[in-house]
Structure 1
Amino acid sequence: MKTDSDADDRNAPVAAVLFDWDGTLVDSLPVVTEATNRVLVAHGFPALPADAVHDGMRLPTIPRMALHAALPDDEHARGLAQRMADEFYRIAVEVGQERVAFYPGVLDLIDRLAAHGVALAIVSNNRRSVLEPLIDVLGLRSRFAVVIGEEDVALPKPDPEGVLRALEALGVAPGRAIYVGDSSTDAGAAAAAGVRSIGAGWAAHATGGAALATFDLTCSVAADLARYALRRNVSE
């Protein structure tokens, strides 16, 4: 139930912006597709087109690998999915350190928010052990005060646990935060946490997609998000 204090928070300056990682800050679909297909083929399963891999990226890695390999729900299959996920993590870091790239305008967005004192965090269904080497390669370690990955929560998005953990670590109330993502699981996690959600319309695979309709607002370019987040923080 919303309270008067919630409404007051939402009218206050934005204190924190939380981001999904894959498909929001970075165009990681080529990396995830290559790593996924290398694992699938190594285990005798057919490679998948990028759109099928992207569809699975709403899930944490273990159930995603089970989905892509059409594994049954039994103990042997669960063990195989775990091994495939472990292989994926290793390959994704290897490939990602060479190929991961920001979407246009994202680095400027991060720099502008940080320059105005907005706290930044990442909340992803990917593993933190995969994200952190890529964050280092991109030179972003000092920008993000908190990184929450799938190993840090009991339940993945759309459960709000990761978003709420990040806010607690930042010391920011939900009403003073924004969560930015590209999938309905991101929008669902934000809504459940009481956080405003913004769809990353600059992501090529998300533009015009039905997932964007689940967000409170969509920004077509990263600069629009900076203007929205800072509209009450600074006089523009």
Structure 2
Amino acid sequence: MKYPGTIVFDLDGTLVDTAPDLTAALNHALGELGRPPVDPQAVRHMVGHGARKLLERGLAASGTASPALVEAGVPAFLDYYWLHIADGSRPFEGVEAAMDRLAAAGCRLAVCTNKPVALAQGLIGALGWTKRFSAVMGFDSVPLPKPDPGHVWATIEAAGGDVADAAYVGDSMTDVAAARAAGVPVVAVSFGFSDRPAAALGADAVIDHYDALDGVLAGFVR
């Protein structure tokens, strides 16, 4: 099968189930701020817009979430998360085999995430994935992160690809909006961190397992 030349992936909730470690870091920071922990299942729907937004949502779950309080919690969150970045985080089922098949077919693989790039690279390294990706672009790699299309375009360019021959795989409305604005076909995974059903995100296709990714991507090639 022929696939788009560059496949861009979101990271959290798309390639990796990072909820266990993000939950632990969030609840550590909330504890430092004197707040109660958030239920792990609730955290899965708070992820996707960076540490500050996650802290804001975690704080809002138990009271007020002022900008000053959010900023006060960021160091505790980031320090804890860096030390425990892959304690419980695991690749989603079938994702490594899917990436192997795409790489073998000559595709460039890249990551476009709203994580800070250092944390993204740290997680990717901890999983032994460093050599899998032609580019990793975090929210601080560009002037404006997702859903701004420039984040997607910059990732494709950094990977050595062409926007006209690329596809995007993500799990949230932010991912779909970014890919749509960038003019890139987008696949949504149904097992990620979205706060709404994947079918409601407006992606070109939805997959329930990475075994289905190949066929969907092949369908994007005209």
User: Aligning the two structures, in what range does the TM-score lie when normalised by the shorter sequence?
Assistant: 0.7 to 0.9
Give 1:132's match in structure 2, choosing from 118, 121, 142.
Answer: 121
Corresponding residue of 1:213: 200
Q: 1:44 aligns to what SS in structure 2?
A: coil
* 1:195-221 superposed Cα distances (whole Å, 9 cap, x missing partner): 1110112x2655x94244221110111
Alignment of 1:152-163 (within 5 A): 152-163=141-152
Corresponding residue of 1:34: 24
Distance in structure 1 (CA, Å) of the matches to 2:43 and 2:220: 39
* Aligned residues of 1:113 and 1:230 also touching (Cα < 8 A): no
Distance in structure 1 (CA, Å) of the matches to 2:220 and 2:178: 24
For residue 127 of structure 1, report the CA deviation from its aligned partner.
1.2
Alignment of 1:1-236 (within 5 A): 13-69=3-59, 70-73=64-67, 77=68, 80-201=69-190, 203=191, 209-214=196-201, 215-230=203-218
* Aligned residues of 1:175 and 1:196 also touching (Cα < 8 A): no
* Aligned residues of 1:183 and 1:212 also touching (Cα < 8 A): no
Distance in structure 1 (CA, Å) of the matches to 2:104 and 2:75: 37
Larger radius of gyration: 1
Distance in structure 1 (CA, Å) of the matches to 2:209 and 2:139: 28
What CA RMSD, in Å, does the superposition of the two structures yield over aligned residues? 2.1
User: TM-score, length-normalised on structure 2?
Assistant: 0.88
* Aligned residues of 2:113 and 2:139 also touching (Cα < 8 A): yes
* Aligned residues of 1:60 and 1:156 also touching (Cα < 8 A): no
Give the counterpart letter for 2:197 in structure 1.
A
Q: Flag structure 2 segments of 5+ consecutive residues without an equivalent.
A: none
* Aligned residues of 1:184 and 1:212 also touching (Cα < 8 A): no
Give the counterpart letter for 1:213 in structure 2.
A
For residue 81 of structure 1, report the CA deviation from its aligned partner.
2.3
Q: Flag structure 1 segments of 5+ consecutive residues without an equivalent.
A: 1-11
* Aligned residues of 1:96 and 1:134 also touching (Cα < 8 A): yes
Q: 1:121 aligns to what SS in structure 2?
A: strand
Q: 2:44 aligns to what SS in structure 1?
A: helix
Distance in structure 1 (CA, Å) of the matches to 2:53 and 2:220: 41
* 1:82-133 superposed Cα distances (whole Å, 9 cap, x missing partner): 3422322222232223222111101101111111110000011111111112
Pick which of 58-67 and 116-125 moved more: 58-67
Aligned residues: 215
For residue 186 of structure 1, report the CA deviation from its aligned partner.
0.5
For residue 229 of structure 1, report the CA deviation from its aligned partner.
2.4
Give the counterpart letter for 1:228 in structure 2.
V
Distance in structure 2 (CA, Å) of the matches to 1:67 and 1:53: 9
Note closer, same or farther for the CA distance 1:209–1:81 as it changes in structure 2 (3 Å cut): closer
Note closer, same or farther for the CA distance 1:194–1:232 as it changes in structure 2 (3 Å cut): closer
For residue 147 of structure 1, report the CA deviation from its aligned partner.
0.4
For residue 178 of structure 1, report the CA deviation from its aligned partner.
1.0
For residue 47 of structure 1, report the CA deviation from its aligned partner.
1.1
